[in-house]
Structure 1
Amino acid sequence: MLRNSQNRKQINKVLLLGSGGIRISQAGEFDYSGSQAIKALKEEGIKVILVNPNIATIQTDPGMADEVYFEPLDLPHVTRIIEKEKPDAILLSFGGQTALNLGLKLEEKGILALHGVQVLGSSVQTIKEAEDRGLFKQKLDEIGVKTAQSFVATNTDEAMIAAEKIGFPLMMRSGFSLGGLGSGIVKTKEDLKFRVNEVLNATSQVLIEECLLGWNEFEYEIVRDMAGNVLTVCNMENFDPMGIHTGESIVVSPSQSLNNEEYHRLRKIAIDVANHFEIIGECNIQYAFNLETSDYRVIEINPRLSRSSALASKATGYPLAFIAAKLVLGYHLYELQNAVTKKTCAYFEPALDYIVVKIPRWDTHKLKKAERFIGTEMKSVGEVMAIGRSFAEGLQKAVGMLNIGAADLADYPQDIPDIELEIERATDRRVFALYRFFVQGGRIEKAYELSGIDKWFLNHVHTIAQMENTLRNPANVLSRDLLLEAKKLGFSDKSIAKFRDMDPQALRAWRIAQNIIPYVKQIDTLAGEFEAQTNYLYMTYHGQEHDVSPSDVPASLIISS
């Protein structure tokens, strides 16, 4: 039952809306959210009724929910389920944008009120204010938080008037959408008219706003309870500047480009926004930030679990979805124990002494006519996450996990016909184009002019490329120190051996003989107490005698190199 019963009835049965079938821009990250919510609810003795037509999800496994309906997530089917099951409450924030939009329809049609079903978590009003672009801007104006200059349009004429006020190029976004559907940079009146007509067939409004192309993009993950206790679990930074959807971009956590003042300023704004919208549970806030002027714009707030939430949970060891489910039941953050450490309460912000790198995965090669160019709409079908002591190490590890035939950046198996074009107009292989550009002697300044990618990231990719050139140079002896430096930069034995015209197994044997070995480290969310256990481990290379030997590491945890 609810911990905080004020203005709320007792909860014995909850209807949980899933995310529907897995498709491009809506992947398995929402299964993580829903599964965690079910576990949290079952722990409280609450009966869970799940609606999700996707049989490939963990949340639909036997033994998870009490009842599972493999039915479409639409108004008629869910209405009939409500009539039959008579739930006390409904959860909207654990099934992505699909669940959120359906919840709004159920509220608007009076279905929830008719059957006495209350919404747990952020209210329907909060959801509307976050999703409706006009209300969103108005709400943030109330507390002096900057948003992009924008106008809401519900037809082509209104969009054209807004464009005249803002000027081209401009950004067009659609309301109530997932994965940046229908959004993009518009440069001409003809293009705007075509795209507005197209998008309004699927949604009720579009937002015409100033173009922030080239600004850096950041996200903050927020949890808040009913009493107004708020914390930022982590923040993230996009490798690509504005103009590339977060789900299409390489993402790092924690942010690397912000200075201390900028980080805390955006953190305070995130907390203020969560309080003003009266978020209950989890949300994430996305910013455009100009590093040259320190100016910012809040791009959007998602009053739900998102694909970024899954990344943040795995990156920090903080179980966001599980905690969010408890918070919507009325718990306070300080009342909840961290399910990972078993030693701390949930009211603390994790500290990261490592860097996490996420790389999306695309399957555009399976679609003959698909363009490789990426932008504000999602085309990625999944993502991988790697953890390292440095961005270079994490980036190279992530590349090796993509299952595209590349062990690291140097091992990319495909030709890139026009390297500079793919740096300038982002594609699914932009990072490989950048790498080859630097290997061939390209300058950081030129890469920055073409891509707008922050020089912090470009310098690291350049450093990795320079190491390849160093290793390929026969005048440089492959000493133990050079090999150790290459391994710390994430190079595989396969690539290093190729650079030196050696057998990979022979190189590996020599590396181990030099005591350059991988070892496992645990992400410890309880600073200073190494006995705290987590489920997240990462490997790094070291060459000191006192480090763990391969025989001390469980075979299941060894990552071959």
Structure 2
Amino acid sequence: MNNLPSKVIILGSSALKIGEAGEFDYSGSQAIKALKEEGVYTILVNPNIATIQTSEHLADQVYFLPVTPYFVEQIIQKEKPDGILLGFGGQTALNCGLALDKSGVLVRYGVKVLGTPVEAIRNTEDRELFVTKLRQIDVKTPRSFAVTNLDEAVARAYEIGFPVMIRIAFALGGLGSGLCRDEAEVRDLAQKALTYANQILVEEYLLGWKEIEYEIVRDQYDNCLSVCNMENFDPMGIHTGESIVVAPSQTLSNKEYHKLREIAIRTVRHLGIIGECNIQYALDPHSEDYRVIEINARLSRSSALASKATGYPLAHVAAKLALGYGLIDIPNSITRVTKASFEPALDYIVVKIPRWDLKKFKQVSKRIGSGMKSVGEVMAIGRKFEEALQKGLRMLETGASGLVLNRQKTADDFLQELSEPTDQRVFAVPEAIKSGMSIDEIHELSHIDKWFLYKIQNIVDIERKLLTVGEQRCPRDLIEEAKQFGFSDEQIARALGTDEFKIRELRKAYGLFPRVKQIDTLAAEYPAQTNYLYLTYNGGEDDIGFLDRNSVMVLGGGAYRIGSSVEFDWCCVNSVKTLAELNYQTIMVNYNP
């Protein structure tokens, strides 16, 4: 391709923090690889020594310096790059790039922002500009006012009507945001929020509305597609990083799905975004009314989930688009048989569950809301929602064997958990069902969509069946059904009052084994060459055969938690790379998206 930049600076996300973790190491690493494939000299700015992207075999030059305007200007002055990538280092990189543009540094040194223009980034980050731009194309946003002082915030809250949401522009992980039910709460939260930013937003609170996300990619030729859409288990008011997220969405009608998809594509085109973009909606469950809540004109936590959930290499594609390629020019590196212009199709369901470490901090409230507290997340894959949910809860490694049949009681006061959610909210739903509450009553308290509640009721129904039979009388059909709904051997054993290993032997005697399935982005429409696999009891055959050669399994670190994070990704990646060089077949086992 002609007119490629010869030297490009990539801004990393710096230190890991709540709201910015390993997903940006992933996206930055993919961007570096994509640029090097085109012969572009890459310069990385990232002081985080534990990341994969700072390894010596990736970028041509690595600066372990703060991702701030002062230090990045010094690097630009020395290296004289042609271009800069802002969308692969999270909010930290984006804010730094905006500051460099505003101060005139980029123009002074002739550095071009690759991909989404700075003006488009600013239009998505500045809440007042954001609302103005979307009104130009008749796209709805929450009724809101940008304010700069405490008295104005209170006045606008009364004008909108309580409850209201407080939000901050240019913020990470819902920093400084929250729900306010009266004037006192507005004054308290607005005062705190104004210490983080000069401008805050007071907006209407959409009680009980669903939260939906779309991942969109667009090239400079105006080709545009939806890579993945996702649905939050929890309603509006809980940050998407704090909520269980399901991909693809399960409760939207065909009309709702295509309406939101069309609005997302129209919005991305109007803003002029090039590359990848995340759009978050609020959707009224009783009508087709909607609001666009937020747009991230960069790779995000949701982008990493969407990429792993679909098998579509979002970060790699976004980097190529930033260089000027069209979607039809870029091969899908996962399938090797389609182009990036091919919209993914899924024949499975993915569930993302956050992990909190709140017990380590005695004074911290366990309530969850519009600000992030979770430090990690897991991704579970299955052919049923129930299967993926239970697998994901085990993956958290917080002591849960699944949604039910746990050693310890997981929800102390399920009524309060349903109305005022904490990190244990999902466990309150089966407790409420077992207490005799109806699905309608649980929905009224929690505003969780009834589809999810009925799926949880399915799990409770199987638990009841298991509790009525003994080990000697447990039929094959019941064990098979339990496995298909995500029950572990340990859960089944606890219900039958026996040992986990006895259940395992019984299951094997019945000939019940999981099947290996591929994530191919194509729902098996074309033969795929992927090595991206999951196990399920909801399958009749394996998608791949087993190779008889020297193999080494590498166990990943799982969900990030305090004391274990991206440094173990670095260890695993380098282990796999070394083993491959020694001609071993490598098998990576991990569930961190």
Give TM class, smaller chain: over 0.9
The runs of 5 or more residues in structure 2 that have no matched partner are 554-586
1:158 is the counterpart of 2:152 = yes
Q: Which amino acid aligns with 1:170?
A: V
1:489 is the counterpart of 2:485 = yes
Q: Which amino acid aligns with 1:491?
A: F
**2:451 matched to which residue of 1?**
456
Residues 350-404 of structure 1, C-alpha deviation per residue, up to 9 Å, x if partnerless?
0111110000111111112111110000011111001100100010111111111
Q: From the superposition, tell whether residues 379 and 91 of structure 1 become closer, same or farther in structure 2 (CA, over 3 Å).
A: same
Contact persistence 1:516–1:542 (CA under 8 A): no
Q: Match of 2:374, SS?
A: coil
In 2, Cα distance between equivalents of 1:374 and 1:399: 17
Q: How far off is 1:552 after superposition? A: 8.6
Residues 5-35 of structure 1, C-alpha deviation per residue, up to 9 Å, x if partnerless?
4xxxx51111111111011222111111111
Residues 286-308 of structure 1, C-alpha deviation per residue, up to 9 Å, x if partnerless?
00001211110011110000000
Q: How far off is 1:76 after superposition? A: 1.5
Q: How far off is 1:527 after superposition? A: 4.7
Q: Match of 1:487, SS?
A: helix
Q: Match of 1:58, SS?
A: coil
Q: How far off is 1:261 after superposition? A: 0.7
**1:276 matched to which residue of 2?**
270
Contact persistence 1:219–1:236 (CA under 8 A): yes
1:250 is the counterpart of 2:244 = yes
In 2, Cα distance between equivalents of 1:538 and 1:503: 27
1:347 is the counterpart of 2:341 = yes
In 2, Cα distance between equivalents of 1:175 and 1:260: 33
Q: How does 1:435-514 map to 2 (within 5 A)?
A: 435-474=430-469, 477-514=473-510
Q: How far off is 1:550 after superposition? A: 11
Q: How does 1:77-116 map to 2 (within 5 A)?
A: 77-116=71-110
Q: How far off is 1:417 after superposition? A: 2.3
Contact persistence 2:176–2:196 (CA under 8 A): no
Q: Match of 1:384, SS?
A: strand
Over the matched positions of the two proteins, sequence identity in percent amounts to 56
Report the more deviating stretch, 447-456 or 427-436: 427-436
Residues 418-477 of structure 1, C-alpha deviation per residue, up to 9 Å, x if partnerless?
121112111111111222322343321221121110000011111101211111113894
- The Cα RMSD (Å) is 2.1
Q: Match of 2:367, SS?
A: coil
**1:148 matched to which residue of 2?**
142
Q: From the superposition, tell whether residues 352 and 372 of structure 1 become closer, same or farther in structure 2 (CA, over 3 Å).
A: same
Q: Which amino acid aligns with 2:419?
A: E
Contact persistence 1:517–1:542 (CA under 8 A): no
Contact persistence 1:484–1:543 (CA under 8 A): no
Q: How does 1:230-379 map to 2 (within 5 A)?
A: 230-379=224-373
* TM-score (normalised: structure 1): 0.95
Report the more deviating stretch, 520-529 or 81-90: 520-529
In 2, Cα distance between equivalents of 1:493 and 1:266: 41
Q: Match of 2:278, SS?
A: strand
Q: From the superposition, tell whether residues 161 and 543 of structure 1 become closer, same or farther in structure 2 (CA, over 3 Å).
A: closer
In 2, Cα distance between equivalents of 1:558 and 1:438: 38
Q: Which amino acid aligns with 1:337?
A: P
In 1, Cα distance between equivalents of 2:522 and 2:427: 37
1:221 is the counterpart of 2:215 = yes
**1:525 matched to which residue of 2?**
521
Q: Which amino acid aligns with 1:12?
A: S
**2:65 matched to which residue of 1?**
71
Contact persistence 1:338–1:344 (CA under 8 A): yes
In 1, Cα distance between equivalents of 2:343 and 2:440: 37
Q: How far off is 1:329 after superposition? A: 0.2
In 2, Cα distance between equivalents of 1:352 and 1:332: 24
Q: Match of 2:404, SS?
A: helix
**1:538 matched to which residue of 2?**
534
* TM-score (normalised: structure 2): 0.90
Q: How many residues align?
A: 553
Q: Which amino acid aligns with 1:417?
A: D
Residues 513-548 of structure 1, C-alpha deviation per residue, up to 9 Å, x if partnerless?
11111110011224545631223211111586x769
